């Protein structure tokens, strides 16, 4: 198995050589996944919090559905987005297929249920803990949402990071809706798939190592941010 | 709370700004070509497309998938040009009104690979149908694309000529990977199976393992590539002018010479045959 040692060599060579193509691919990967997660967060946090605090008919079914959607297969999401954005599909006129926008859209669909479901759990636990206190201060569920989101911010950060992990690691959706076009829609995961299909397993694994290092960097940065905030805000 | 809001707004603003760069470049003229993995994985596009772009300023965006999927993309209007290798599907595409006209571009050939041990003893066989029938007789492992690609269709055509029915053995010695050429070659290499591939992909392939070419040269193994402009009457957004410029270039002296000049490890991979 020389592939493993070759892979580390390839990864090191890619990073040290500061390959311009690699930088482009890494940049696009980060932009697509960050934006998808940002939109998913903007939608997922309030939706998750609302479901945690309000009681309404069909809530249990919605909870189960939302938890199940955390396991949405990327390839299915890719297919749905493809059929929607294809020229033959309902949103075809916008010509968004095979663009980064299509990839952001697909990843957003994948990540939103994850963030919403995890937010729901975090907020529901906090609500159980603080309901009496908040109500005695005159804060019903509606007024409590921002306070609880703020109070649960560190747990919610983990929810957002879980979403980012999902987005940056998936290949099924971006391959279909992005098309893996060189210099346009090629991201880390589709580049890895391409190298595997060329039989260059060492380079593919080398790219994989770079991707994992990126993920480590993002999570490390989030951790440092959290630590700093905890020290400053208590 | 207020500070949090401001911070969140700043982060969001930064993200929107970052995503802006992720959008398609507006000024760039480009066409989308639905094509096959063999032309991309062989490195042909990396060699010829920059020449076309330098000359015309038109960028070519290649979606490299199996021929079956490429035809579906073009049918849906998600590409301006179809550049694949299964003549019957291409002619049907034109006959159904989705394409204007099919032109021959180039040929190369398919080869039958197998493990060096060659359990079905097909090495040096000149008749591909005979070789396949020996593999079926020996129940030796055979990896099939199984994905409706041009190579898969060719393989099924050759099985038919052999008189054997591999489908009946699906899951035992006949293994359908349902994947691209590269993935199928990786699989075949790992389980020492026989496999049909186009020569260009094989030459460029790195993970060869114990596989080698056992059967080649039968004229039924020829692999014809064709190019078709997607019909603007069906799909009015097709970039006819730019797409036609690309087709003219590929079929013209310059494109044909570029195709013929491409070498993989010193060997010519594709043989231009436009207008012949």
Residue A183, domain CATH:
1.10.3720.10
Identity of the residue in B22, B75, B183 whose CB atom sits nearest the CB atom of A196: B183
Residue A97 at interface with chain B, using a CB cutoff of 8 Å: yes
Residue B32 at interface with chain A, using a CB cutoff of 8 Å: yes
Q: Is the pLDDT score of B274 beyond 90? A: yes
Provide the number of CB pairs (under 8 Å) joining chain A to chain B. 91
Which domain does A34 fall in, by range?
19-187
Which of A88-92, B17-21, B67-71, B102-106 shows the lowest per-residue confidence on average (mean pLDDT)? B17-21
Asked if A95's CB is within 8 angstroms of B206's CB, the reply is no
Gap between the Cα atoms of B162 and B156, Å rounded: 10
In a domain, A109, yes or no: yes
Q: What domain count does chain A have?
A: 1
Residue B26 at interface with chain A, using a CB cutoff of 8 Å: no
Gap between the Cα atoms of B22 and B114, Å rounded: 44
The predicted model gives B33-61 an average pLDDT of: 95
In a domain, A65, yes or no: yes
Gap between the Cα atoms of A214 and B171, Å rounded: 40
pLDDT at A60: 95
Its CATH class, for the domain covering B109-221, is alpha beta
In a domain, A9, yes or no: no
Gap between the Cα atoms of B257 and B259, Å rounded: 5
pLDDT at B220: 96
Gap between the Cα atoms of A117 and A63, Å rounded: 8
pLDDT at A138: 85
Give me the long-range contacts of A190-193 (CB less than 8 A, separation at least 24).
A191/A25
Inter-residue contact A97 to A192 (CB < 8 Å)? no
Residue B24 at interface with chain A, using a CB cutoff of 8 Å: yes
Q: Is the pLDDT score of B24 beyond 60? A: no
Q: Is the pLDDT score of B26 beyond 70? A: no
Neighboring chain B residues of A99 at a CB cutoff of 8 Å: 23-24
Domain boundaries, chain B: 9-108+224-272, 109-221
Residue-wise pLDDT for B124-163, tens only, equals: 999 999 999 999 999 999 999 999 899 999 999 999 999 9
Neighboring chain B residues of A198 at a CB cutoff of 8 Å: 41, 182, 204-206
Residue in chain A lying closest to B238 (CA):
A87
Asked if B180's CB is within 8 angstroms of A182's CB, the reply is no
Query: Which segments of chain A have a pLDDT < 50?
Result: none
Look at the alpha carbons of B46, B83, B107, B180 in this order and tell me if their dihedral is positive or negative: positive
- CATH topology agreement for domains B9-108+224-272 and B109-221: yes
The predicted model gives B93-107 an average pLDDT of: 97
pLDDT at B9: 53
Prediction pTM value = 0.86
Residue in chain B lying closest to A151 (CA):
B1
Query: What's the CA angle centered on A113, arms A172 and A122, to 5 degrees?
Result: 135
Identity of the residue in B21, B77, B205 whose CB atom sits nearest the CB atom of A199: B205
pLDDT at B13: 54
Domain B9-108+224-272, CATH:
3.40.190.10
Comparison of pLDDT for B240 and B11, the residue scoring more = B240
Inter-residue contact A199 to B206 (CB < 8 Å)? yes
Q: What is the percent of chain B with per-residue pLDDT over 90, rounded to a whole number?
A: 85
Asked if A87's CB is within 8 angstroms of B76's CB, the reply is yes
Residue A208 C-alpha, separation from nearest chain B C-alpha, in angstroms: 17
pLDDT at B1: 46
Identity of the residue in B19, B61, B75 whose CB atom sits nearest the CB atom of A181: B61
In a domain, A231, yes or no: no
In a domain, A133, yes or no: yes
Band (pLDDT 50/70/90 cuts) for residue B25 is very low
Identity of the residue in B1, B24, B64 whose CB atom sits nearest the CB atom of A99: B24
pLDDT at A229: 87
Residue A59 at interface with chain B, using a CB cutoff of 8 Å: no
Query: How does the average pLDDT of chain B come out, rounded?
Result: 90
HSE-CB at B64 with a 13 A cutoff on CA atoms is 25
Beta strands in chain B (DSSP E): 29-36, 58-65, 81-84, 99-115, 142-144, 174-176, 194-198, 211-215, 222-230, 263-264, 267-268, 271-272
């Amino acid at each position: 198995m020389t592939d493993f040692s070759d892979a580390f060599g390839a990864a090191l060579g890619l990073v040290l050589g500061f390959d311009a193509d690699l930088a482009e691919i890494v940049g696009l990967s980060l932009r697509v996944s960050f934006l998808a997660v940002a939109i998913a967060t903007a939608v997922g946090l309030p939706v998750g919090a609302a479901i945690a605090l309000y009681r309404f008919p069909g809530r249990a079914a919605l909870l189960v559905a939302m938890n199940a959607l955390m396991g949405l297969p990327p390839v299915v999401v890719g297919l749905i987005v493809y059929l929607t954005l294809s020229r033959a599909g309902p949103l075809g006129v916008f010509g968004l297929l095979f663009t980064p926008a299509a990839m952001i859209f697909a990843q957003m669909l994948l990540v939103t249920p994850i963030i919403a479901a995890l937010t729901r759990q975090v907020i529901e636990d906090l609500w159980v803990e603080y309901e009496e206190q908040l109500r005695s201060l005159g804060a019903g569920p509606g007024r409590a949402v921002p306070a609880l989101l703020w109070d649960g911010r560190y747990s919610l950060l983990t929810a957002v990071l879980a979403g980012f992990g999902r987005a940056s690691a998936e290949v099924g959706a971006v391959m279909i809706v992005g098309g893996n076009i060189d210099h346009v829609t090629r991201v880390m995961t589709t580049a890895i798939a391409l190298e595997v299909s060329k039989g260059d397993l060492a380079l593919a694994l080398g790219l994989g190592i770079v991707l994992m290092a990126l993920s480590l960097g993002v999570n490390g940065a989030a951790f440092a941010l959290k630590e700093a905030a905890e020290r400053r805000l208590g | 709370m207020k500070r949090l809001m401001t911070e969140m707004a700043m982060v969001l603003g930064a993200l929107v700004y970052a995503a802006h760069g992720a959008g398609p470049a507006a000024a760039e003229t480009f066409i989308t070509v639905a094509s096959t993995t063999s032309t991309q994985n062989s490195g042909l596009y990396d060699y010829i497309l920059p020449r076309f772009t330098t000359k015309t300023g038109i960028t070519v965006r290649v979606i490299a998938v199996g021929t079956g999927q490429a035809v579906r993309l073009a049918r849906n209007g998600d590409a301006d040009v179809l550049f694949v290798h299964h003549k019957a599907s291409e002619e049907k595409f034109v006959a159904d009104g989705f394409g204007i006209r099919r032109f021959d571009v180039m040929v190369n050939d398919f080869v039958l690979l197998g493990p060096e041990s060659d359990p079905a003893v097909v090495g040096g066989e000149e008749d591909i149908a005979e070789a396949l029938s020996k593999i079926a007789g020996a129940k030796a492992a055979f990896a099939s694309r199984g994905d409706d690609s041009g190579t898969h269709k060719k393989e099924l055509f050759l099985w038919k000529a052999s008189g054997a029915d591999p489908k009946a053995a699906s899951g035992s010695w006949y293994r359908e990977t349902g994947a691209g050429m590269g993935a199928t070659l990786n699989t075949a290499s790992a389980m020492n199976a026989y496999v049909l591939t186009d020569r260009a992909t094989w030459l460029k392939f790195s993970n060869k393992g114990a596989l080698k070419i056992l059967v080649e040269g039968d004229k039924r193994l020829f692999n014809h590539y064709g190019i078709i402009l997607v019909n603007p009457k069906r799909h009015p957004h097709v970039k006819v002018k730019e797409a036609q410029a690309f087709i003219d270039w590929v079929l013209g002296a310059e494109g044909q010479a570029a195709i013929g000049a491409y070498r993989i490890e010193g060997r010519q991979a594709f043989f231009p045959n436009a207008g012949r």
